[in-house]
Each structure stands twice: as C-alpha cells, then as structure tokens.
Amino acid sequence: MATIDGLPPLRAVIAAHGLTARKALGQNFLLDLNLTAKIARSAGDLRGTDVLEVGPGPGGLTRGLLAEGARRVVAVEKDARCLPALAEVAAACPGRLEVLHADALELDWAAHLTPPIKVVANLPYNVGTELLVRWLTPQSWPPVWASLTLMFQREVAERIVAAPGGKAYGRLAVLAQWRCDARIVMSLPPEAFTPAPKVRSAVVHLDALPQPRFEADPKVLQRVVAAGFNQRRKMLRAALKGLAPDIEARIVAAGLKPTDRAEQVPIEGFCALARQIAAG
Ligand code: SAM
C-alpha cells in the first residue's frame, strides 16, 4: 500500500502532471517537505482535528498536515490540473484527505468538516486577505474554527500583528486582535518558493479567543475602524464625523482625544468608541 513517505518528490510530481505555475492563481509552490512539515507543526497538535487547507496545489503542505496526524484534511483547490497529484496523496492516506475542486471564495466549506477545526494554508496572495477577513467576521463568536495558520506576504503579516502607533497598524490588526491572539511564527525568503515571488513571506498563527477582548457590536466596531483608518492622517473628530452628530463628545466619553489619529488608538479605545456610538 502507498504511504505518504513513499510518494515521489514534489519536483517529480510537478513534472509528471505538467503543473507549471500560473500567476493568475497565485501559484508559488513550496517544494521542500521539511519546510511544509514545519508549517504544519506551527499549527499545533493536529491529532483529532479536521484541517481546512485552501490551495493545496501539488500537495506539499497537504502531505505535512497528514504526516502530522490531522484526523482529516479537506483541501479546496481551484486548479483542476492539481487534482490527479492530490488523488495520489489521498490514495496514500485512505479516508483522510478529501479534495474539493472549488473556488474557496464560493464554497460553504464548514459543511465538509467536523469540529475541532483548524485552518492551515499557503494562501494564494490574491485572495488571502479576503479569506482572512471572512474567517474573522463570522455570524457569531467563537467561530467554527479554533485556529488559523496562514502564509502571507511579510508586509500583510506585519499588518495583522501590528501594535498601535505605527504605519502597519490598521483595520486588519484591530479585526484580528480583537478576537484572536495573533503572532508571526515563521518568516520565509522568496527562494523558499517555486517560482520565487518578489517579496518575503511569513506564516501567521491566530488562535480564536473564546470571547472578544473587549465588548463591542461587531458591525459598529467595523464601521468605526473603517472610518478611522480610511482617513488615517485625519484626527478622529474629522475622520469619524459622519458617524454621529455629536461625535466629539462621544470620543471624549470613550476616554479618547478628538485630536488623536486612528493609528494611536488601541483596540480597547475603538471598542469603547463603538459602545458610545451604539448607545444611540
Ligand atoms: N499549498 C501549495 C504549496 O504550498 O505549495 C500551493 C500554494 S500556492 C501559493 C496557492 C494555491 O491556491 C494554488 O494551488 C492555486 O491554484 C490555489 N488557488 C488560487 N486561488 C484559489 C481559490 N480561489 N480557491 C482555491 N484555491 C485557489
């Protein structure tokens, strides 16, 4: 019987199935199985866990996830050319890998997995942020997933984990850190990928908190944060002016200064402001 260890090297898989990388699909493959195993391990203990993987490509990270003991991996791939290669991985681990030929942006993926669920992916850069925002804004909290372990361009990873006071701090940081612990767990040079992208990459690990760090209505908070950072050079009193006629008084009631700029406001401050605005 085939085993994961008995599968051919990824370069041979790519050659055998003609998987020349397509830029439009964000295809930068990881061919070093030691590296994909390390990424899989950075998601924590996978035993007894279902894993959602977006964009398995030739299956390097998929192999790592299975080797690390994931109960099941559901891998969503848009490129039909990758399916025969992934079928070989599935055959080596009977019953543990389900490959869905679909666009991850269109799919109701939760229907295919059983909690506990972890999401692990070397994401296509062109859809990575969109998927992250969707995972961070479910109907209710805690979400169906326990953690996200995701590859991003280094610059995007830095925006996710940024602290107040710098240029990287913005909507993504507030959205991610309001309800998750987020940290960069790996940094990768362009040469780690085939073909090499122009920029460095990083893996971010986010653990969902059982409840948000500070109380706030998610929709109101998102409106406040969007307004604040859409005009990040402006002071709060100007940037948020459209949110309430007496915005300056509400900013003060939230314990902030009307002359502050959004990038100086900690998550707790945005939540206080959202509560003031929701108070009607
Ligand atoms: N996981 C593989 C690896 O680490 O080598 C491939 C990573 S590559 C950066 C991104 C993968 O996502 C490609 O296989 C690409 O075909 C796939 N992809 C791109 N857009 C997608 C989408 N909307 N839904 C699902 N897969 C997508």
Residue-wise pLDDT tens digits, 231-258: 989 999 999 999 999 999 999 999 999 9
Contact present, 60 and 29 (Cβ < 8 Å): yes
Q: Tell me, using a 6 A CB cutoff, whether residue 265 lines ligand 1.
A: no
Residue partners of 245: CB distance under 8 A and separation at least 6? none
Mutate to test the pocket of ligand 1, among 13, 33, 77, 99 (most ligand atoms within 8 A of CB): 77
Q: Tell me, using a 6 A CB cutoff, whether residue 104 lines ligand 1.
A: yes
Q: Tell me, using a 6 A CB cutoff, whether residue 57 lines ligand 1.
A: yes
Burial class (CB in 10 A: 0-12, 13-18, 19+), 48: exposed
pTM of the model: 0.96
- Quick check: 204 pLDDT over 70? yes
Residue-wise pLDDT tens digits, 50-107: 999 999 999 999 999 999 999 999 999 999 999 999 999 999 999 999 999 999 999 9
Q: Tell me, using a 6 A CB cutoff, whether residue 56 lines ligand 1.
A: yes
Residue-wise pLDDT tens digits, 218-232: 999 999 999 999 998
Q: Kindly give the distance from the C-alpha atom of residue 44 to the centroid of ligand 1, in angstroms, as a whole number.
A: 22
Say which CATH topology domain 218-278 has: Helicase, Ruva Protein; domain 3 (1.10.8)
| Backbone phi and psi for residue 149, each to the nearest 5 degrees, phi listed first | -125, 105
Residue-wise pLDDT tens digits, 165-192: 999 999 999 999 999 999 999 999 999 9
User: Closest Cα partner for 272 from 257, 258, 253, 259?
Assistant: 253
Contact present, 227 and 242 (Cβ < 8 Å): yes
- CATH classification (class only), 10-208: alpha beta
Give the domain ranges of the chain: 10-208, 218-278
